[in-house]
């Protein structure tokens, strides 16, 4: 647990008072907060998820499809059916204790698996209807197929979508469909819910010309005032702006009781290693301790937060933690029955033609883990094309992530998924030239053993000298494509980089990307989807070797 007033933090085993609030660890890793203020006696449990990204089926420890062997060994996580069991069990436990319960989603149900590709978010909504959600915030990925697709999701939902800083013009398919705020009643108490969506959606997704985004803090000040004007003092913010921005909101907007967050895929936990403390408490302008919570992503965790309110709507007591959705929760059979008929069209989808290839694309292990290869060029070119509008200049992926070649003729989606089976997603970040060079050196330090970390690149070229010892300068003559041609890599300059989420998290030993990158963002767009789109847009496609890695 942590509490923030500017930069003040509290360790998980610590104890501190701020603005009259006593903060300490409770049993089993759960945090607790209590104050000496008088309360209304109203206690509320909030069960929450965020950034599920179409993980209707259970997932592996890598957040990808769970293999039959993993499933047989009970080492899978999450998925809609397991989430249903967890929510139902925790909801029943709270209700048995006489506590009101809200079940909330902070956005980004969309994008990430073939369920979204096939159903455009409607399968995810069907699962949420069956589980029984009370409200959902709107994430940037809800706009990935434009306003029309989001409107269809909203129409099929048995719960409201809430986001007040989304401004929709008359005539838009979304007009009148998004709730700017909600007031829900539980046991005679009114609970206000405000929602905000990152304004970065304008360039992260496809909201269209009829949708604009107000500054989050500006909107929330207005929203809090409006709810308080109606006599509502217990106010939750359902936020999809990221953990860092949530802390700014709590510090600058008065009247918020708690923030249920998403977007940054932040793991908050008092038991998981290297996690941010659940909850993080930020002091508001008037001295309130405002809990901020988030539950990672991909249905791997669920948050369980209990709040007790004072007469003024401030949280005077709280406890909770995230819950790992592992084999302790058996998948709910009724949800599995809903999912089963949805899988058949997905299996058919894998046979869908993607593009005509005028030549083979070599993605063999022998070439892609040892030097420039056709599949490496194709995939990194596709990655760079996907985010070029963001000013990203360099693409980097690991040769070991390329699992097959493709033959000339008609390529299917199944072929693409064979090449890229891991459901890795595009991840953008900023790195220094020094960090980029370190990544390249690391990538080539075990070529002799065919290590999968070998760097395939786009927007960048370099010379590789295998006569030099590993980590001793094998990489030289590094150049980055600029607006006027190739420029020498500047160690002090900042470069926009697109890679995959595995490498961005330090996978294959790329710790320098994890530790040295800034402004990281997981787009949740599957790399296979990116490749399929690129091949389709450039058919008949012929691969090239252009000398981007010279030996």
What pLDDT, on a 0 to 100 scale, did the predictor assign at position 36?
52
Distance in Å from the first CA to the final CA of the chain: 51
144 pLDDT band, cuts 50/70/90, is confident
249 pLDDT band, cuts 50/70/90, is very high
What pLDDT, on a 0 to 100 scale, did the predictor assign at position 282?
95
3-state secondary structure of 538: coil
Each residue of 433-448: pLDDT tens digit? Answer: 999 999 999 999 999 8
CB burial of 260-282 (b: ≥16 within 10 Å; e: otherwise) equals bbbbbbbbbbbebeebbbbbbbb
Question: Average of pLDDT values for 360-381?
Answer: 95
Question: Average of pLDDT values for 183-208?
Answer: 93
* Strand 460-464 with 475-482, pairing: antiparallel
Helix (H) or strand (E) holding 430: strand 425-432
Each residue of 485-540: pLDDT tens digit? Answer: 999 999 999 999 999 998 999 988 999 999 999 999 999 999 999 999 999 999 99
Mean pLDDT in the chain? 91
Q: What span, in angstroms and rounded, lies between the C-alpha atoms of 461 and 126?
A: 47
The alpha-helical segments, DSSP class H, found in 371-510 are 374-387, 413-419, 433-443, 501-504
Lowest mean pLDDT among 60-69, 208-217, 263-272, 435-444: 60-69
Domains in the chain and their CATH numbers? 20-344 (3.60.21.10), 353-550 (3.90.780.10)
What pLDDT, on a 0 to 100 scale, did the predictor assign at position 386?
96
Entry pTM = 0.79
Given a contact cutoff of 8 angstroms between Cβ atoms, the answer to whether 74 and 327 are in contact is yes
The pLDDT > 70 percentage for the chain reads: 93
């Amino acid at each position: 647990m942590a509490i923030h007033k500017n930069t003040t933090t509290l360790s998980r085993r610590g104890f501190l008072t701020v603005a009259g609030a006593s903060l300490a660890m409770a049993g089993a890793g759960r945090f607790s907060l209590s104050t000496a203020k008088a309360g209304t006696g109203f206690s509320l449990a909030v069960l929450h998820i965020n950034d599920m990204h179409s993980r209707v089926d259970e997932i592996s420890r890598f957040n990808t499809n769970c293999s039959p062997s993993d499933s047989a060994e009970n080492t899978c996580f999450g998925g809609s059916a397991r989430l249903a069991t967890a929510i139902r069990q925790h909801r029943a436990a709270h209700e048995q204790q006489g506590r009101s319960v809200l079940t909330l989603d902070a956005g980004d149900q969309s994008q990430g698996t073939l369920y979204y590709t096939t159903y455009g978010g409607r399968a995810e909504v069907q699962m949420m209807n069956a589980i029984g959600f009370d409200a959902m915030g709107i994430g940037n990925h809800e706009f990935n197929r434009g306003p029309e697709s989001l409107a269809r999701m909203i129409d099929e939902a048995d719960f409201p979508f809430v986001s007040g800083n989304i401004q929709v013009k008359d005539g838009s398919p979304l007009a009148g469909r998004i709730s700017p705020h909600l007031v829900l009643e539980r046991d005679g108490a009114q609970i206000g819910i405000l929602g905000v969506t990152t304004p970065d959606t304008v360039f992260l997704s496809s909201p269209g010309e009829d949708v604009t985004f107000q500054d989050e803090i500006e909107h929330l000040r207005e929203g809090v005032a409006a709810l308080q004007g109606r006599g509502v003092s217990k106010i939750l913010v359902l936020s999809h702006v990221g953990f860092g921005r949530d802390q700014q909101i709590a510090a600058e907007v008065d009247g918020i009781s708690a923030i249920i967050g998403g977007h940054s895929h932040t793991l908050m936990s008092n038991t998981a290693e290297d996690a941010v403390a659940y909850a993080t408490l930020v002091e508001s302008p008037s001295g309130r301790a405002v809990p901020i919570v988030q539950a990672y992503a991909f249905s791997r965790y669920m948050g369980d937060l209990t709040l007790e309110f004072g007469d003024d709507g401030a949280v005077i007591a709280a406890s909770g933690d995230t819950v790992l959705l592992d084999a302790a929760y058996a998948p709910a059979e009724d949800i599995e029955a809903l999912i089963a008929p949805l899988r058949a069209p997905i299996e058919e989808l894998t046979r869908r033609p993607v593009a005509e290839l005028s030549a083979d694309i070599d993605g063999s292990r022998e070439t892609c883990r040892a030097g420039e290869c056709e599949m490496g060029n194709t995939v990194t070119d596709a990655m760079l094309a996907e985010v070029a509008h963001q000013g990203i200049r360099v693409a980097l992926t690991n040769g070991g992530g390329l699992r097959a070649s493709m033959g000339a003729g008609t390529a299917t989606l199944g072929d693409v998924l064979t090449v890229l089976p891991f459901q890795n997603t595009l991840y953008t970040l900023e790195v220094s030239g020094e960090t980029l060079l370190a990544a390249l050196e690391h990538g080539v330090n075990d070529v002799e053993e065919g290590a999968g970390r070998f760097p395939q690149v786009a927007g960048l070229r370099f010379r590789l000298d295998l006569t030099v010892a590993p980590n001793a300068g094998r990489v030289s003559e590094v150049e980055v494509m600029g607006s006027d041609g190739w420029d020498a890599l500047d160690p002090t300059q900042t470069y926009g980089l697109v890679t995959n989420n595995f490498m961005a998290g330090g996978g294959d030993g790329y710790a320098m990307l994890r530790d040295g990158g800034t402004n990281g963002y997981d787009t949740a767009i599957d790399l296979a989807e990116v490749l399929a789109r690129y091949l389709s847009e450039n058919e008949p496609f012929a691969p090239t070797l252009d000398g981007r890695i010279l030996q």
